[in-house]
Amino acid sequence: MQVEITVKVNGQLVKNHVQGVGGTLEQMEETIVALSKRVGADTLQASVDAVPGPRPLFRKRTGRCGTAATDRERCSE
């Protein structure tokens, strides 16, 4: 089986991943999970690169939540 994933950011081609997937169901799952991680990393990097400078800083992490909560965003407990 051949898996093809195309990533575009703002209509611009970032990456075209094509990979053969085969073997047992477990091997196929492992291959697709690894491919998904690579695609996610490429998509994140391309999205960050698409933001014109100066880029906003990421919110600081807090102990309770993933990032500092704003008035509109609250952590679910």
Domain ranges of the chain: 1-77
How much is the pLDDT for 54? 79
Which pTM was predicted?
Answer: 0.56
Distance CA 5, CA 36 (A): 9
Reduced to 3 states (helix: H, G, I; strand: E, B; else coil), residue 13 is strand
pLDDT in tens, 4-62: 889 888 898 988 988 899 999 999 999 999 988 888 888 888 888 888 877 767 766 66
φ/ψ (deg, to 5) at 16: -125, 105
Please state, in angstroms and rounded to a whole number, the distance separating the CA atoms of residues 46 and 75.
Answer: 28
Per-residue pLDDT at 28: 93
| Residues belonging to the chain | 77
**The pLDDT of residue 10:** 86
